[in-house]
């Protein structure tokens, strides 16, 4: 169960509610987010909701049978909208588009990417400054200096920054420059990182784990939410299967299933989902028609020279065409 507490609740009132909840054999977890305070009751016995609902200090109460609670649509039917400021919004009925290179490589690349995004009306730029790499000898990103450089140009152009944070100690230095903290597929169950991002006043986008289940993705979101941060985005990016004709198996089933289970916006990543440049468009358009709130993809002025992920990165001309096709598809879907 989820109990939304009134802002002006008195301590004695809260104590009484906790006592009542415990009396029903539910464990009460208090959660304070940037938006409100909740009591999350964990238990499984049946009870009459009216026994609690009219106690003083309670704004609302919901029974949520899912084992994740605050991210469940059973609690909050209206979709969550993430406002990044300056008119950039995720989840408000316009297709959210995030594009950019796999890795931030230098000033020239930042500059030309931003120019491309502006020309295409894209307001969110993706890019990595800390790169998780299987081999310790591979390029690991430009780090905080790269981020500062990127920030300088992006702010000037009104472009929002989406970038991966890999560990707790990076949050603080990155905080000023980042608009959406991305949790990568290898960190979906890095619970300490999720806990720490709960304390942050910036939106967080969580990618589905390399072979994570849909439920695990929702649990990971519950970590951040119950840690205090309600501004969450989920991202389907393909899962690991036996099929090796593509890098991953894009699980578009996850889009309608997630949209039904949670009120959070759901984004698709076709670049990682298929991992083959010339097929990114097909999977991007399919993602839109499957109901995604947005798409994140990799683009580079010269994919053949990209430091990383070049094989799945489209060039700016392809990107420009893709954006038009995605928007037309999104519009068609909304017209149904």
Q: Note whether 286 binds its own copies by CB under 8 A.
A: yes
C-alpha span between 146 and 163 (Å, rounded): 11
Q: Note whether 187 binds its own copies by CB under 8 A.
A: yes
Question: Closer CB to its own copies, residue 301 or residue 312?
Answer: 312
Residue of the chain from 127, 203, 227, 303 that contacts its own copies (CB under 8 A): 227
Residues 41-47: contacts with CB within 8 Å, 24+ apart? 41/1, 41/2, 41/3, 43/1
Q: Note whether 42 binds its own copies by CB under 8 A.
A: yes
Q: Note whether 226 binds its own copies by CB under 8 A.
A: yes
Pairing state between β 2-5 and 37-42? antiparallel
Q: Contacts with its own copies in 126-145 (CB under 8 A)?
A: 132-137
Residues that contact its own copies, how many (by CB under 8 A): 74
Q: Which helix (H) or strand (E) holds 236?
A: strand 232-236
Question: Closer CB to its own copies, residue 190 or residue 308?
Answer: 190
Q: Note whether 251 binds its own copies by CB under 8 A.
A: yes
Question: Closer CB to its own copies, residue 84 or residue 129?
Answer: 129
Q: Note whether 24 binds its own copies by CB under 8 A.
A: no
- N- to C-terminal Cα separation, the chain: 35
User: Whole-number minimum distance, CB 310 to its own copies, in Å?
Assistant: 17
Q: Contacts with its own copies in 63-82 (CB under 8 A)?
A: 67-68
Is residue 174 packed enough to be buried (19+ CB in 10 Å), middle (13-18) or exposed (0-12)? Answer: buried
C-alpha span between 104 and 143 (Å, rounded): 9
* Helix 254-261 × helix 214-227 angle, to 10°: 40
Residue of the chain from 214, 234, 306, 323 that contacts its own copies (CB under 8 A): 214
Going from the C-alpha of 168 to that of each of 32, 140, 212, 232, the distances in angstroms are 20, 17, 21, 18
Residue of the chain from 4, 33, 311, 329 that contacts its own copies (CB under 8 A): 329
Residue of the chain from 82, 110, 267, 288 that contacts its own copies (CB under 8 A): 288
Q: What is the CA radius of gyration of the chain?
A: 21
Could you tell me which stretch among 45-53, 83-91, 148-156, 274-282 binds its own copies (CB under 8 A)?
A: 274-282
C-alpha span between 7 and 186 (Å, rounded): 38
Q: Note whether 222 binds its own copies by CB under 8 A.
A: yes
Could you tell me which stretch among 13-21, 155-163, 187-195, 293-301 binds its own copies (CB under 8 A)?
A: 187-195
């Amino acid at each position: 169960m989820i109990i939304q507490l009134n802002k002006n609740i008195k301590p004695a009132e809260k104590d009484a509610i906790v006592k009542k909840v415990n009396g029903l054999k539910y464990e009460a977890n208090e959660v304070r987010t940037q938006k409100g305070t909740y009591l999350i009751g964990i238990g499984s016995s049946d009870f009459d909701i009216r026994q609690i609902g009219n106690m003083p200090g309670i704004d609302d109460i919901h029974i949520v049978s899912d084992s994740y609670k605050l991210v469940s649509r059973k609690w909050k039917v209206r979709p969550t909208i993430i406002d990044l400021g300056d008119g950039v919004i995720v989840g408000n009925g316009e297709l959210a588009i995030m594009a950019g290179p796999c890795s931030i490589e230098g000033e020239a690349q930042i500059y030309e990417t931003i120019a491309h995004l502006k020309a295409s009306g894209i307001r969110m730029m993706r890019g990595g400054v800390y790169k998780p790499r299987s081999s310790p000898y591979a390029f690991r990103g430009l780090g905080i200096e790269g981020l500062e450089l990127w920030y300088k140009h992006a702010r000037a152009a009104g472009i929002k920054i989406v970038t991966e944070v890999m560990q707790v100690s990076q949050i603080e230095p990155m905080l000023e420059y980042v608009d959406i903290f991305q949790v990568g597929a290898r960190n979906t169950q890095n619970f300490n990182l999720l806990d720490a991002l709960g304390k942050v006043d910036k939106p967080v986008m969580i990618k589905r784990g390399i072979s994570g289940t849909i439920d695990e993705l929702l649990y990971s979101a519950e970590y951040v939410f119950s840690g205090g941060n309600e501004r969450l985005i989920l991202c389907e990016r393909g899962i690991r299967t036996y099929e090796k004709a593509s890098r991953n198996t894009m699980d578009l089933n996850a889009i309608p299933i997630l949209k039904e289970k949670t009120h959070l916006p759901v984004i698709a990543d076709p670049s990682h989902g298929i991992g083959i440049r010339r097929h990114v468009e097909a999977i991007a358009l399919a993602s839109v028609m499957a109901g995604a709130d947005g798409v994140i993809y990799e683009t580079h002025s010269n994919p053949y020279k990209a430091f990383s992920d070049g094989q799945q990165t489209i060039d700016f001309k392809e990107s420009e065409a893709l954006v038009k096709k995605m928007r037309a598809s999104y519009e068609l879907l909304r017209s149904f």
